[in-house]
């Protein structure tokens, strides 16, 4: 009997296990996480994405989404300190969160200034608020090296880098490197930052931290450094602590130009019977409508069209120096305007006496025209002696990084900047 009882127990256990094995699985539904953007749960609204059209106003957009003018005027007046609704620009994307009922009335307007920054205007109910919104961004340090085959812009483009970075490099080296004179085989290395949203969406470039150009066998270093912690203004210095920025740029065009005629007081022209016709300017040939920039900050004292000069601008920089820019297709500045170094003041053209598109750049010193390419022009102040030890310590790992493959001891850091939502 004991054996039979044991056998029955085994049979029952096997039967129970078999039934358990074939018991249907219970499905567990996982609820998706609610999508939250700009601080709002999107499931609670009808979400509308659009882009501002030419001539379209803030009022027209809200009116189309069932917010009417008494309310629109109230919104515009309430938020002027944070957002001027008259300054919405064509081509900018925006987002509307509307009610999910039959009225589909707009309740929140989100104006996207760029990939990172937005203004959120909330007017649901009786209250009206506006706030700035900044997406969290990740800043990643990058390195790139390149060899010049033709021009800087073509080389950078071939490396997959966007024009903004090329223009930044041109600005950094504008005082020390003639981009027209770059030679095939010259090389460079840059250490710079890229910004990302949501870890993968490119949102532009950050700072260029350091750079080196090898030109004619000589290394030209540039290190970003803040010498005055109170002012907090960064400048670029070479390895000896000399500021790269000078009082005057080398050329009135950033790059992609050629010097077609130099300053020459004994020039003879066959058209005029081989007589001496002095040329008191330097001609920079470039394509029509290439931007012309001020080589130094100053006040515009002349901006007009006259005779052989065509459209021209003259800038007084101080009691010693003035510059003039001739043959423009168009002028961007007027007499009395103050312009900063590097600001666009006009565009290359062929107005006046000229055989091809160029800007004739003229340079005055104490009221006399001189050759800017031969002048020893004033430079900005170098680092103070008491700051140099700190500077040399600061650039040591950066210089090593430019000359080698990586920073010693520690790996390149990925900097994450999380910006609190306001």
Place of tokens 């043959």: 327
From the number of C-beta atoms within 10 Å of its C-beta (0-12, 13-18, 19+), residue 252 rates as buried
Look at residue 30 and tell me if it is in a domain.
no
pLDDT band at 298 (very low <50, low <70, confident <90, very high): confident
Structure tokens at 214: 């090898």
Asked if residues 407 and 400 have their Cβ atoms less than 8 Å apart, the reply is: yes
The pLDDT of residue 323 is 95
Task: In whole angstroms, give the CA distance from residue 325 to residue 347.
Answer: 10
pLDDT band at 421 (very low <50, low <70, confident <90, very high): very low
Place of tokens 């601008």: 313
Look at residue 377 and tell me if it is in a domain.
no
Structure tokens at 226: 């803040």
| pLDDT > 90 in the chain, percent | 55
Asked whether the predicted pLDDT for residue 405 surpasses 80, the reply is no
Same domain, 125 and 194: no
Q: Give the CA radius of gyration of the chain.
A: 32
Look at residue 375 and tell me if it is in a domain.
no
> Of 49-63, 235-249, 345-359, where does mean pLDDT reach its minimum?
235-249
Asked whether the predicted pLDDT for residue 401 surpasses 90, the reply is yes
Which of the listed residues 77, 101, 134 is the one where a domain comes to its end? 134
Same domain, 144 and 121: no
Which CATH number covers residue 269? 2.70.70.10
Determine the average pLDDT of the residues in 147-151.
Answer: 89
> Of 70-79, 134-143, 145-154, 260-269, where does mean pLDDT reach its minimum?
260-269
Same domain, 51 and 72: yes
Task: In whole angstroms, give the CA distance from residue 71 to residue 240.
Answer: 62
Q: Please state whether beta strands 321-331 and 310-316 pair in parallel, antiparallel, or not at all (unpaired).
A: antiparallel
Task: In whole angstroms, give the CA distance from residue 142 to residue 257.
Answer: 30
Look at residue 22 and tell me if it is in a domain.
no
Same domain, 125 and 221: no
User: Apex CA 371: angle with CA 368 and CA 374, to 5°?
Assistant: 130
Compute CA distances 111 → 117, 119, 127, 314, whole Å. 9, 5, 19, 41
Same domain, 332 and 314: yes
3-state secondary structure of 101: coil
Same domain, 366 and 282: yes
Asked whether the predicted pLDDT for residue 400 surpasses 70, the reply is yes
Determine the average pLDDT of the residues in 219-231.
Answer: 89
Which CATH number covers residue 219? 3.10.450.350
Indicate the average pLDDT of the chain: 85
Beta-bridged to residue 146, according to DSSP, are 188
The pLDDT of residue 97 is 97
Look at residue 402 and tell me if it is in a domain.
yes
Which of the listed residues 88, 115, 134 is the one where a domain comes to its end? 134
Look at residue 207 and tell me if it is in a domain.
yes
Asked whether the predicted pLDDT for residue 259 surpasses 70, the reply is yes
Same domain, 78 and 111: yes
Same domain, 184 and 270: no
Look at residue 7 and tell me if it is in a domain.
no
Q: Which has the closest alpha carbon to 321: 261, 260, 372? A: 372
Same domain, 301 and 357: yes
Residue-number span of the structural domain to which 337 is assigned: 258-370
The pLDDT of residue 217 is 86
Look at residue 20 and tell me if it is in a domain.
no
Asked if residues 253 and 284 have their Cβ atoms less than 8 Å apart, the reply is: yes
Enter the DSSP assignment of 379: B
> What are the pLDDT digits (tens) for 20-34?
555 566 666 667 788
Determine the average pLDDT of the residues in 80-104.
Answer: 93
Asked whether the predicted pLDDT for residue 8 surpasses 80, the reply is no
Same domain, 319 and 287: yes
> Of 118-132, 252-266, 393-407, where does mean pLDDT reach its minimum?
252-266
Which of the listed residues 134, 165, 185 is the one where a domain comes to its end? 134
Asked whether the predicted pLDDT for residue 61 surpasses 90, the reply is yes
Same domain, 316 and 212: no
Same domain, 234 and 292: no
The structural domain count of the chain equals 3
The pLDDT of residue 273 is 55
> Of 35-39, 263-267, 284-288, where does mean pLDDT reach its minimum?
263-267
């Amino acid at each position: 009997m004991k054996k039979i009882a044991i056998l029955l127990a085994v049979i029952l256990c096997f039967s129970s296990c078999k039934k358990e094995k074939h018991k249907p699985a219970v499905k567990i539904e996982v609820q998706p996480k609610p999508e939250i953007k700009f601080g709002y749960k999107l499931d609670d609204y009808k979400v509308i994405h659009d882009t501002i059209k030419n001539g379209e106003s803030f009022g027209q957009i809200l009116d189309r989404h069932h917010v009417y003018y008494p309310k629109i005027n109230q919104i515009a007046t309430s938020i002027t300190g944070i957002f001027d609704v008259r300054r919405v620009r064509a081509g900018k994307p925006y987002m509307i969160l509307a009610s999910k009922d039959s009225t589909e009335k707009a309740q929140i307007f989100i104006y996207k200034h760029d990939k990172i920054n937005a203004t959120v205007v909330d007017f649901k109910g009786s209250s009206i608020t506006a706030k700035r919104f900044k997406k969290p961004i990740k800043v990643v340090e990058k390195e790139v090296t390149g060899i010049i085959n033709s021009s800087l812009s073509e080389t950078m483009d071939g490396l997959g880098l966007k024009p903004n970075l090329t223009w930044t490099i041109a600005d950094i080296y504008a005082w020390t490197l003639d981009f027209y004179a770059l030679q095939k085989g010259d090389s460079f290395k840059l250490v710079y930052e890229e910004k990302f949203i949501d870890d993968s969406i490119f949102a532009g470039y950050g700072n260029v931290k350091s750079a080196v150009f090898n030109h004619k066998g000589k290394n030209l270093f540039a290190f970003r450094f803040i010498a005055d912690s109170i002012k907090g203004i960064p400048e670029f210095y070479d390895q000896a602590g000399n500021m790269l920025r000078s009082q005057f740029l080398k050329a009135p065009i950033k790059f992609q130009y050629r010097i077609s005629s130099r300053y020459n007081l004994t020039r003879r022209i066959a058209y005029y019977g081989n007589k001496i016709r002095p040329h008191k300017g330097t001609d920079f040939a470039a394509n029509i409508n290439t931007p012309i920039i001020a080589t130094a900050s100053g006040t515009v004292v002349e901006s007009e069209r006259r005779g052989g000069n065509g459209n021209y601008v003259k800038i007084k920089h101080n009691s010693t120096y003035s510059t003039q820019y001739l043959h423009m297709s168009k002028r961007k500045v007027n007499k009395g305007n103050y312009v900063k170094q590097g600001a666009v003041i006009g565009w290359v053209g062929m107005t006046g006496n000229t055989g091809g598109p160029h800007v004739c750049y003229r340079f005055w010193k104490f009221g006399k025209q001189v050759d800017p390419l031969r002048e020893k022009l004033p430079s900005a102040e170098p680092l103070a002696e008491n700051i140099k030890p700190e500077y040399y310590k600061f650039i040591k790992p950066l210089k090593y990084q430019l000359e080698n493959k990586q920073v010693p001891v520690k790996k390149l850091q990925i900097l994450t900047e999380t910006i609190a939502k306001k």
